[in-house]
Amino acid sequence: MRWPVCGYLLSERRQGTERHSASVQDAEGDPGPMGWTKGREGQEGSRAEAGPTHWLGRVAALVLIGQAGVQMLGRIAPGSVRFPGSFGPVLTPDSPGYLQAATELPAIRAEYLTKTLYLLLLRFDQALSLGGWGVVLLQLVALAMAGTAVATLVARHHGDRAAVLAAAVLVMNPQVSQWARAILTDSLFISLVVVLAIVLARFLELRTSPLPPLLLGTALVFLRPNGLGALIGVIVVVILRMRRFRVVTALVSIALVATSLLLAPGFQTPGGEENTLAARTYEGLVIWMGEDDVRIAMPAPAQPDDLTNAGLVRYATANPLAVLRLGLLRVGWELIQIRPHYPAAVNGMVALQMLMLSVLALIGLRRNVRASLGPAVLALSAGLLLVIAGTWAVAEGRFGWAVLAMWSPWIGIGADALLERLRPGRSGSVN
């Protein structure tokens, strides 16, 4: 049995096996397919043979362990994770709105247009009277598929240990795994963004058709509004990569982005004054936390009642430094993940986690500096962070994990390199 997404990502696995003889000779670290540095001799052939089906069962087990770990962590360190007491589908404050909108299909309100795909999944779940279990199961499967894609990619040239570590960082991280049981778009979105990064890297390395990353990027726009940032990242990469018909491609891409902007509720005023970009910018909203919102002082707008996109553009033009500062603060808070409302112990644990993951990611990136995954992740990250800069950071930091989850291959490679250097009898620096 072949899984469609993973099969697409790794259709050249057979060619990798045929190149085994030449690969073993590249002991000095020349880049192989997908730009990954060659692994240790003697393991190359077995890695080339290990496809998605080899890893799916293992990663699925890690997903289940991660779900149990979230429950345990919630009891050991209260407040460190969401929903520590529930093993089934969890309703959040946003969930009732999704469920109601799903029952109204095919009619759909403007503010839910960019969540159409999720509403369809919920409607299917409702039709089968699954009580949310169908959606939760799909989210767990999607997380396992993303982890499988990451593990298969890393294992080919860095070994099983690096692959397991990379997959575990993705599927067992409490900040990612805790959302898999929630009736929210975040878990599915994070998983598909990771898959998109690998698909886009394949496009860059092998010059395959741009259609798969473009289609997946477009699908993300109709999963949640933040998907617009991912689509922008894909479009930029595709335009820069294509040598012919670049002008036509650029024009079509601009039209596609403009259409997405018109459709996304976050870029419309009818969605409610409190949700418009202009209103949130005028008030200096940095972190949306309900009654405990974090704001900064912003210059008074010349026309405070003008909440249109055009009004926001005029405001940003008149106050560029203030708007830039606001955007950078939003992105910064979302990346560091600590929050003013968290207990000091939780903030300390989060800070330690982020520091450790960042160091490992840098080590892994250094070992793959020429890999095509880097430009893909950079482009998608820039697009997603641009959306955060233009909207707001969120109380739980879940918007940021769509970006941070793409680091998992580098973190796994970095952790493997560190373990290798710490092995008895080994010395030297990690490089």
Confidence of residue 17 (pLDDT cuts 50, 70, 90): very low
What is the C-alpha to C-alpha distance for residues 302 and 118, in angstroms, rounded to an integer? Answer: 39
What mean pLDDT do residues 80-98 have?
83
Question: At residue 240, does pLDDT exceed 70?
Answer: yes
Residue with the larger pLDDT of the pair 2 and 81? 81
If you average pLDDT over residues 251-264, what whole number do you get?
63
Tokens of 285: 């909203």
Which pLDDT band, with edges at 50, 70 and 90, does 263 fall under? low
Residues forming beta bridges with residue 37, ordered by sequence position: 31
Among the residue ranges 17-31, 117-131, 151-165, 295-309, the one predicted with the least confidence is: 17-31
Among 213, 211, 144, residue whose Cα is nearest residue 180: 144
Tokens 């240990």, residue located: 161
pLDDT tens digits, residue range 33-76?
344 334 443 344 444 456 778 898 999 999 999 998 888 887 77
Q: Is the dihedral of CA 147, 149, 150, 155 positive or negative?
A: positive
* 229 phi/psi in degrees, rounded to 5: -65, -40
Q: Do 43 and 149 contact (CB within 8 A), yes or no?
A: no
**CA–CA gap between residue 67 and residue 358 (Å, rounded):** 23
* Helices of type H across 308-343: 309-318, 320-336
Mean pLDDT of 162-181: 93
Q: Which residue has the higher pLDDT, 322 or 80?
A: 322
Average pLDDT over all residues of the chain: 81
In this prediction, residue 345 has a pLDDT band, given cuts at 50, 70 and 90, of confident
pTM for this prediction: 0.82
CA distance linking residue 216 with residue 94, whole number of Å = 25
**Torsion angles phi and psi, residue 60, rounded to 5:** -60, -40
Q: How confident is the model at residue 421 (pLDDT cuts 50, 70, 90)?
A: confident
Hey, how many other C-beta atoms are within 10 angstroms of the C-beta on 86? 14
What pLDDT sits at residue 328? 96
Q: Does the structure show a pLDDT above 50 at 4?
A: no
Q: Partners of 287 in the beta sheet? A: 294, 393
Q: Report the half-sphere exposure of 81 (CA within 13 A, side-chain side).
A: 27
Q: What is the pLDDT of residue 286?
A: 94
With residue 285 as reference, give the H or E element that holds it: strand 285-288
State the Cα–Cα distance between residues 68 and 373, nearest whole angstrom.
31
Following DSSP, what letter does each residue of 366-389 receive, concatenated?
HTTTT-THHHHHHHHHHHHHHHHH
Q: What is the mean pLDDT of residues 81-93?
A: 80
Q: Is 222 helix (H, G, I), strand (E, B) or coil?
A: coil
Q: What is the pLDDT of residues 361-395, one digit of tens each?
A: 999 988 876 678 889 999 999 999 999 998 899 98
